[in-house]
Amino acid sequence: MAEDDYLILPSPFDVAPGRVLLREPRDADPTVLEARLRAGTYEHPFVVDDGEHLTLYLGSIELIQTVMDKNDPQALMPGYSQAMMMFLLFNPQPRDILMVGLGGGALLKACRAQLPRARIEAVDVDPAVLGWRTLFQLPLDDARLAVSVGDGGVFVAAHRGEVDVLMIDAFDETGFAPSLDRHEFVAHAHAALSARGLMVTNLAGPGAAYGEFLMAIREVFDDQLLVVPVRDDGNHVLLAFKDPSMRPVWHRVQRMAAALEARTKLALGRFVDDAQRIGWRRLPDTLWQAD
């Protein structure tokens, strides 16, 4: 979809100057739309173009979903999205990747770039999100890529024992997707993973929003987990491993992070340092206190 297919307004946000791109009819009232944007009552995803970056918001200026560098559309911006790629340090060649939550597709593009032979399936519950697919330069579906609209819980439950990496980055206007904050979802996620599969989850906002999810992780995955605090944006990234014998060998993990950083733009070493500091099978207090 070309830029001409969007309704473009001057950004009404002091904290996000530039232009706002909306998927609205050309004859929509810009005054009404601007008022809804300012009030945080606009109910659809929108994009702010500041000249250097495209930023996808989920209906509110407080809810950033994806940031894309217009000069380097394939690059992952610093922050939680880079930390999500830590799965490469534990499974550098996954065959099947499942993604719940698409947004602007930054993680999808990163996985395609790093793992051209992997099969990727991605689902997002909001069809409006997929409307930004072309603007954010996501590849088209092919034999190794399938993007669809649907419920993430139903999507995950339809898989059993074949997923090597399950990536969860699912939020709505209230924060962490409430449909995933359930024991049932975590049990289905565990069943979907292959014998050495892992789940990596972005956690943001109040800890109460994903309290049941964390308790279920501890039970279903038997505390086979690592937590990584993300200093740049206050998020936490959680990795949960299906293999009951999994134990991180930190000097090897550090060596793999250094090698990956040398050949890519993924700066994972600092995340490994923080994960090691917190420790294997531990949930830090900062995770529960996130706001």
- What tens digit of pLDDT does each residue of 8-19 get? 999 999 999 999
pLDDT tens-digit readout, 192-227: 999 999 999 999 877 777 888 999 999 999 999 999
Cα–Cα distances in Å, from 77 out to 81, 149, 265?
A: 7, 25, 9
Residue 195 to residue 232: CA distance in whole angstroms: 33
Residue 22 to residue 280: CA distance in whole angstroms: 44
Residue 155 to residue 124: CA distance in whole angstroms: 10
The predicted structure's pLDDT at residue 178: 75
The pLDDT of residue 79 is above 90: no
pLDDT tens-digit readout, 82-95: 999 999 999 999 99
Residue 285 to residue 136: CA distance in whole angstroms: 36
Residue 27 to residue 105: CA distance in whole angstroms: 29
pTM tops 0.85, yes or no: yes
Q: How confident is the model at residue 3 (pLDDT cuts 50, 70, 90)?
A: low
| % of the chain surpassing 70 pLDDT | 96
Residue 158 to residue 173: CA distance in whole angstroms: 26
Cβ atoms < 10 Å from Cβ of 29: 10
